[in-house]
Amino acid sequence: FSVIQTKCIENYSSKDKEDISNYPRRTIPLPNVPLHVSVNCDCTILAVVLEKDNCPTVVFYDVLSFYKQNVAIIKEIRLSATPGTLISQVGWNPALPGVFTACKKDGSLGVYEIKDNIIDVNEIPPAAEACCFCWSPKGKRIAVGSRNGKITQYKPDLKPVAVINPPPLDASHSLISLQWVASYQFIGIYQSMDAADQTKLIVIDAPKTGENVYINYEDICYSGSTRKSYFYMIFQQHWNILMVASSNSSELGVLGMCEENWLQWILPDTGRAELPLTTNYQDAFPVGTCFDTSPTSPMPWGEDTIPPCPYLVLLSHTGVMCIFDVVNLKQGTPTVCSPPENIVNTSGLSLFTTSQPTVIEVNLGVAADASPMPTKTPTTAAVIVPQQPLPTYKPSTFSFAQQPQTPKVEIAPPSVAVGQSAAAPALPPAPSAFHSQVQPRSEQPLFGEQQSGSSLTFGAAGVTGDVVQLKSTQNPTTGKTSLKDATTVLLEKMIKEECACLDVQIKALLAQGRSGGKIDIGDGEKSQLVKQLQEPLKFIEEIVEVCFAQNAEVHSLQHDLIFSWALYEDTLSRYNSKEDTLLMESQPLDPVAERRQVETKKTLYYIESQLSQASKALDEKWDRFQDYAKRTYRTQQVPTMEAIFQTMVRQNAILQKQTVNAKAIDLLHCEGR
């Protein structure tokens, strides 16, 4: 493995677009390929797990010795004496720097405490079926996840303390990754035993009293099924942020705490912490993560600078290491970076050279927790800023976006229009949708009642104050007609009266409006108006929720489209290079193959019929044995205590009688002598 100084990373920026391969590092030779790399809580001991003599072995290095001429090995321990045993997870106690933990594939788990030249070992057997583990934030207990989904809490000496039952899911799930968040809260990744590509992130609240609460967030990384599922979780306690990386997803998922609730934050397309495509335009997947809080250089931000920001390190399965600056601009957020201590002995700095090391193929199962060898260092940034509440999610303060002045990935909160840092404007109402919800009112005319003798009604779209007069334009018909002038005069008179009544009502209404009068309405009309107002508001909320869900779906489809396009490009390149053999069209079987197929089917049918008959014969014999056992049990009668007592009394009486007879016989015998 290679050792890199943090200040070497700070010399590069996001403007370095090409792969960075000539960087100062010190190469430490190993007898075999490293499988796991992890550093303890005070960054003084580095644990490297590798295979030695076909058995997993951990080598502890003194971190400070990397600056010296000779690298010091503190101790070397064989984690398992069984050949071929694999290690699924390693880690350190967050409070005790000398306590190392390793979880093995066979279901066992070991805690190794380094004390001077002695190492104390405590282990739980494979019967525990351990799959993953996580120490408590204070390092006083360790939680171990099992294949049946249970979480068992142990003391440091591995004595069980408490057990948390698995969540009530539809099918059986195993716990493959675990994070201890608070005293009574855990976050676990559960994988279905039936379908290996189905994983769920579940927040578990397990209080001392009361029932456990399980909240299912599904897979926030949108993982595929290309590789074996494994999740890397980084919990930043001071910021209440959980970053999750999946071995089947190039994108980093984020959960944030808001008002005692965990929320998934949807990040904009322009600012995600994700691995770049490989040289063959294929997706790159992480095999290790790290959160480095040792940077000391201020970070340029626009025209000014901000305090040092931590690094988020992602290592891909192709050996590319990507580094992101995590910037937090939220008011009142504490600073997590702290400068490292000064190193006295730096005699080995001359060994940090830019010579090209031997390239080693990275295993897909590697899990690195410390900074591994980088081959590409695109520096990006993550920014946290406050945000307004969302319709479906509570306010979030974390997302990834692009900073205009400095080309770095920043973290900005999501909104209704994902990618904006300000609150999104309100959505305009849909007229057709609102029209369908308003109920028509059937009331009397507003400007007066209709006269009983008239068949005319009046309605106005706008009133100007002038009286509307309607005159008949129909002249009396000549010829043979029954209409007379009297009818026309009567009709005109009725129209004039109706217009005059309408004019009076309009003038009264205008006078009332100019004088500031109020129109009184009843309680029933008030409740109806309130109901009509609430229905559009509720409809607006539903529209916003649908838009947010559609936005997430569009993002997922966009990701699938990019992946499909990459597959198309790869297929096209393979076709043009003619390196792959074309698939042959399916052809019918020849007569020999058909006969063999028929014979195989007959043999299969014969075997199945024989197995069925054997099963029936075994069932019949078992039933006979059960009947025999029942009859034998019934014939056995256990005497009662009363019968035993009466028998003892009778036997005692017989014994006394025989004793008397024996004495009498002895007496007669003596007299006869």
Domain 2-410: state its class: mainly beta
Q: How confident is the model at residue 528 (pLDDT cuts 50, 70, 90)?
A: confident
C-alpha span between 464 and 441 (Å, rounded): 25
Find where tokens 């008397």 sit.
660
C-alpha span between 310 and 328 (Å, rounded): 10
- DSSP-derived pairing of the beta strands 379-382 and 321-326: parallel
Each residue of 27-83: pLDDT tens digit?
A: 999 989 999 999 999 899 999 999 998 999 999 999 999 999 899 999 999 999 888
Each residue of 211-248: pLDDT tens digit?
A: 899 999 999 998 888 888 899 999 998 888 999 999 99
C-alpha span between 125 and 133 (Å, rounded): 15
SS (H, E, C) 85-129: CCEEEEEECCCCCCEEEEEECCCCEEEEEEECCEEEEEEECHHHC
Model pLDDT, residue 429: 32
Q: How confident is the model at residue 387 (pLDDT cuts 50, 70, 90)?
A: very low
Model pLDDT, residue 18: 65
C-alpha span between 655 and 647 (Å, rounded): 12
Lowest mean pLDDT, pick from 212-216, 309-313, 368-372: 368-372
Q: How far is CA 237 from CA 240, 292, 312, in A?
A: 5, 14, 15
C-alpha span between 531 and 549 (Å, rounded): 27
Model pLDDT, residue 442: 34
C-alpha span between 312 and 181 (Å, rounded): 19
Is it the case that residue 511 has pLDDT exceeding 60? yes
C-alpha span between 414 and 400 (Å, rounded): 9
Element (H, E) at 258: strand 253-258
Model pLDDT, residue 636: 58
Exposed, middle or buried: residue 294 (CB in 10 Å: 0-12, 13-18, 19+)? middle
User: Which residue would you say has higher pLDDT here, 563 or 360?
Assistant: 563
Q: How confident is the model at residue 536 (pLDDT cuts 50, 70, 90)?
A: confident
Q: What is the pTM of this model?
A: 0.56
Exposed, middle or buried: residue 668 (CB in 10 Å: 0-12, 13-18, 19+)? exposed
Model pLDDT, residue 428: 33
* Mean confidence (pLDDT) of the chain: 76
Is it the case that residue 491 has pLDDT exceeding 80? yes
Is it the case that residue 87 has pLDDT exceeding 60? yes
Q: How confident is the model at residue 468 (pLDDT cuts 50, 70, 90)?
A: very low
List for the chain the helix, strand, coil content (%; round to 5).
25, 25, 45
Each residue of 181-212: pLDDT tens digit?
A: 998 999 999 998 877 668 899 999 998 888 89
Of 268, 352, 514, nearest to 26 (Cα)?
A: 352
Exposed, middle or buried: residue 444 (CB in 10 Å: 0-12, 13-18, 19+)? exposed
User: Which residue would you say has higher pLDDT here, 99 or 491?
Assistant: 99
User: Which residue would you say has higher pLDDT here, 135 or 24?
Assistant: 135
Model pLDDT, residue 606: 92
Domain spans of the chain, in order of start: 2-410, 637-673
Q: Are 480 and 449 in contact (CB under 8 A)?
A: no
